[in-house]
Amino acid sequence: MPSMKERMLAGEPYIADEPEILADLDRAARLMERFNSSSASDPEGRLAALRDLLGGLGEDTWIRPPLYVDYGTRITIGPRSFVNVNAVLLDVAAITIGADVQIGPNVQLLTPTHPVEPEPRRAKWEAAKPITIGDNVWLGGGAIVLAGVTVGENTVVGAGAVVTKDLPPNVIAVGNPARVVRELA
């Protein structure tokens, strides 16, 4: 029978009370604290904390603290991207952020899912679906991208939008739920 961590990594329902999962959460909490308390006058130390925390960090990518993650190791960010303050990247499943992406303040990328039915939810079952953000995407301040969503390259997501389903490349999407309002040339 697979462990809860193996179930989690496979995208199957799991309960996050296994010691190995809790140790991974603890590791991420320590590294987040190191990054979030790092000094702007020590850019090398700040970058080292990020490289220890995240699964992959592209060249010339800049993340402003504070940053909040579940595990960190399931997040990859491409080169020349920018993540503004108070980003919440809950990486129970993989979060893949492309190159040249701009992420506004207070953006949330949320891979976890929970059962709608009361009994499994009370029993603490959960699961997750990956999120993919294409190259040259701009996520406006306060945007929320939900589990299982892919945002196509060059797309702009307006401030405060809630992205509940995939967005194609080269569009502007706004609202809750986010809807395409314009195509980009």
**Tokens 């995407």, residue located:** 137
* Catalytic annotation, pick one of 27, 34, 64, 114: 114
* 1 pLDDT higher than 90: no
d(CA 21, CA 64): 27
Look up the pTM and report it.
0.96
% of the chain at pLDDT higher than 70: 100
> What is the secondary structure of 22-79 as a DSSP string?
HHHHHHHHHHHHHHHT--TT-HHHHHHHHHHHSSEE-TT-EEPSPEEESSSTTEEE-T
Query: Could you report the per-residue pLDDT of 11-70, keeping only the tens digit for each?
Result: 999 999 999 999 999 999 999 999 999 998 999 999 999 999 999 999 999 999 999 999
Q: pLDDT band for position 185 (50/70/90)?
A: confident
Query: Could you report the per-residue pLDDT of 72-82, keeping only the tens digit for each?
Result: 999 999 999 99
Domains of the chain: 4-183 (2.160.10.10)
**Is 114 noted as a catalytic residue in this protein?**
yes
Give me the pLDDT at residue 34, please: 96
